[in-house]
Structure 1
Amino acid sequence: MTPEMALDLFGEALFLVVILVAVIVVPSLMVGLLVSTFQAATQINEQTLSFLPRLIVTLLMIMWAGPWILGRLMDHFSNIFANIPLFLG
């Protein structure tokens, strides 16, 4: 395995991780921003009001995007396993 191949493989894996995390985290951040705006407008400083909607949105995104995430991970690892002879030779 050449250093270029290792860096390419590492780059693909890192990009995949960023995409998969963004799919889960970005909706949670948006809901957190909306709840924080609501809390600032009404001056309600309740911690559970901020935590519970973000938790629910995160869980719903995992349920909704879970099959797609699993498919992307399986594609990546099957690509790695299929190219093992190329990496070794």
Structure 2
Amino acid sequence: MTPEFVIGFARQAIELTLTISLPLLGIGMIVGIFVSVLQAATQIQEMTLTFVPKIIAIFIALLLFFPWIMDKMITYTRDLLINFPSYLN
């Protein structure tokens, strides 16, 4: 294994991690901004109001994006296992 191979392998894993987490983090950010604007407009400063909607939104997004996430992870793992013998050289 060359250093370039290891760097490329790590880059590919990090890209997959970011790609999978992007929809969930984006929805969490959008809900967080919406709740912040709502809190600023109504001057309600309840701590649970910031967490509960984000948790619910991310849970719903996870349910919606789960097939896509699993497809990405299975494809990555399948490619990893199929190419494993060539990695040992």
TM-score (normalizing by structure 2): 0.94
Cα RMSD of the aligned pairs, angstroms, is 0.9
1:52 aligns with 2:66: no
Count of aligned pairs between the two proteins:
89
Who is 2:72 aligned against? 72
Counterpart mapping for 1:33-48 below 5 A: 33-48=33-48
TM-score (normalizing by structure 1): 0.94
Identity %: 31
Q: Gaps spanning 5+ residues in structure 1: where?
A: none
1:8 aligns with 2:11: no
Who is 2:63 aligned against? 63
Letter in 1 for 2:25: V
Query: After the TM superposition, which parts of structure 1 deviate over 4 Å for at least 4 consecutive aligned residues?
Result: none
Name the structure, 1 or 2, with higher relative contact order (CA <8 Å, separation 6+).
Answer: 1
Who is 1:28 aligned against? 28
CA deviations on 1:22-69 (whole Å, 9 max, x unpaired) are 111110111010110110111001112211111110000110001110
Letter in 2 for 1:81: L
